[in-house]
């Protein structure tokens, strides 16, 4: 079996499952955040900081960011292999997007994890 180094999963089926799982996690995170924003009486620094000071919220946020990374990685690979035929250009675009996704994940880690309650 040939393994493609540029895909996140091991096969098309694995990529399919990862895409669906990451989409469900991102949808759950979005639903939670929208419901929190709608139900909160006031949103100020203290409320926001206390929300993200909770260990469960930190883990849920990092899981959502990891889902964005996986979903974006597989998605950009699929789109580029379908529409960009020049392999050099495709590799460059995929590299740029992959670096951006990793930077977003790392920035999220550095922003969310050290948050302390007020």
- The C-alpha atoms of residue 2 and residue 13 are separated, in whole angstroms, by 14
Category of 3 on φ-ψ map: left (φ > 0), alpha (ψ -120 to 50) or beta: beta
Ligand-binding annotation for 14, yes or no, is no
Q: Residue 83 annotated as binding?
A: yes
Residue whose token pair is 């895909």: 7
Q: What are phi and psi of 23, to 5 degrees?
A: -65, -40
- CB-count burial class (<10 Å; 0-12, 13-18, 19+) for 104: middle
Binding site for heme: what residues are annotated? 71
Residue ranges of the annotated binding site for a ubiquinone are 83
| Binding site per annotation, positions | 71, 83
């Amino acid at each position: 079996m040939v393994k493609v180094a540029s895909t996140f999963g091991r096969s098309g089926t694995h990529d399919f499952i990862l895409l669906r799982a990451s989409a469900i996690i991102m949808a759950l995170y979005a639903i939670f955040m929208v419901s929190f924003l709608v139900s909160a009486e006031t949103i100020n620094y203290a409320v926001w900081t206390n929300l993200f000071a909770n260990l469960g919220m930190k883990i849920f946020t990092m899981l959502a960011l990891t889902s964005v990374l996986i979903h974006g990685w597989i998605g950009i690979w699929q789109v580029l292999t379908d529409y960009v035929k020049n392999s050099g250009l495709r590799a460059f675009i995929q590299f740029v997007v992959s670096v951006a996704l990793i930077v977003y994940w790392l920035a999220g880690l550095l922003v969310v994890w050290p948050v302390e309650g007020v």
